[in-house]
Amino acid sequence: MECEICGKKRGLVRAVVEDTVIYVCEDCASFGKKIAEPRPITKREETPIEDILIDPSYATIVRLKREALNMKIEELAKKINERVSTIKRIEQGRMHLDAKTAKKLEKVFGIKLIMDYEKK
Ligand SMILES: [Zn+2]
């Protein structure tokens, strides 16, 4: 492993440079913000993939809730940072709702879409 900025191979530290965590040498660390090394890099722990059970009526729930709030699809898309086409597909029940999007919708509308979690 070497410094991702200058290529030096010694005294590497972890630093956040332009919102990305990279390994740099002590000299280059001044370009960003040094952060502590929590554990060996090779053992990066991934969040376990969650199998979620989404309310089968999610499409209707989302649409009704949005309409009740008089919110345009465009507004909702902006609020949860998704494409308008994605929202349309969700409301038509043509898109598998993933945990991330479901959580965002739950938060915006104060509803419950995720019925259960199954840790893999
Ligand atoms: Zn360097």
Residues 23 and 60 in one domain: no
Domain region containing 103: 50-119
Give the Cα separation of 40 and 29 in Å (integer). 19
Percent pLDDT > 90 in the chain is: 47
Those residues whose beta carbon sits under 5 angstroms from the ion ligand 1 are: 3, 5-6, 8, 25, 28
Residues 65 and 90 in one domain: yes
> Does residue 82 sit within a domain?
yes
pLDDT digits (tens, 9 = 90+) for 22-43: 889 988 988 888 777 655 545 4
Cβ contact 62:114 at 8 Å: no
> Does residue 44 sit within a domain?
no
Residues 115 and 63 in one domain: yes
How many domains in the chain?
A: 2
Exposed, middle or buried, 93 (CB in 10 Å: 0-12/13-18/19+)?
middle
Ligand 1 center from residue 23 Cα (angstroms): 9
pLDDT digits (tens, 9 = 90+) for 46-73: 555 556 788 888 999 999 999 999 999 9
Residues 57 and 82 in one domain: yes
Say what the pLDDT of residue 40 is: 53
Q: What is the pTM of this model?
A: 0.56
Give the Cα separation of 32 and 21 in Å (integer). 9
> Does residue 97 sit within a domain?
yes
Say what the pLDDT of residue 54 is: 86
8 contact partners, CB below 8 Å, separation of at least 6: 2, 25, 27, 28
58: its two tokens: 């999610």
